[in-house]
Amino acid sequence: MVPALRIVPVQDDQTLLDWQLVHNEIIPTAPLSVDDIRERTTRNVLEVAYDGDVLVGCSTVRPPSEETAAVTVIARVLPAYRQRGFGEAIYQRCLTHAGDGRGIETHILASNEDGLRFAKAHGFVEVERYLLPGDTIPFVELRLDA
């Protein structure tokens, strides 16, 4: 793990706002409100990553649902902090929350070339591309090639 990296759950207003900042910067086509995020904390594992006290990223782990039997893991790193091992540490933490014996998938905005490269380097393969209503940039759904 990156020595100074600290990963904490979204549990108060500051961590919620930090998670929102990272999410909305990396996924500007689908920004989330504070209320959206509060609701997500009731069903997903949301965490925030700091290099010391500096915000560097966040993550989401969604349990299987009616739409998919897979666990969804999403590791996000702010562009200024990429290529330093933070994504790897956040991703590995996501896997601990995902547990064993389940399929794993991720969803990445198609314009996030760094994220797509990271996922493919970790064995994920593209399954489909889809647009959210009103969007012009598709999301890419990828599954871990087990």
Beta bridge partners of 72: 62, 105
Cα dihedral 125, 127, 133, 137 sign: positive
pLDDT above 90 as % of the chain: 82
- Domain segments of the chain as ranges: 5-144
Q: What is residue 3's predicted lDDT score, i.e. its pLDDT?
A: 55
Which residues are bridge partners to 5 per DSSP?
51
Over the stretch 54-70, which tens digit does the pLDDT of each residue have?
999 999 999 988 877 89
**CATH architecture, domain defined by 5-144:** 3-Layer(aba) Sandwich (3.40)
Mean pLDDT of 81-89: 95
pLDDT per position as a tens digit, 3-53: 589 999 999 999 999 999 999 999 999 999 999 999 999 999 999 999 999
Q: What is the pLDDT of residue 146?
A: 55
Q: Determine the average pLDDT of the residues in 82-100.
A: 92
pLDDT at 145 over 70: no
Query: CA 52 → CA 5, 75, 93, 134, distances in Å?
Result: 6, 18, 17, 38
Q: Which regions of 2-92 does DSSP assign to beta strands (E)? A: 5-9, 45-51, 54-62, 71-77
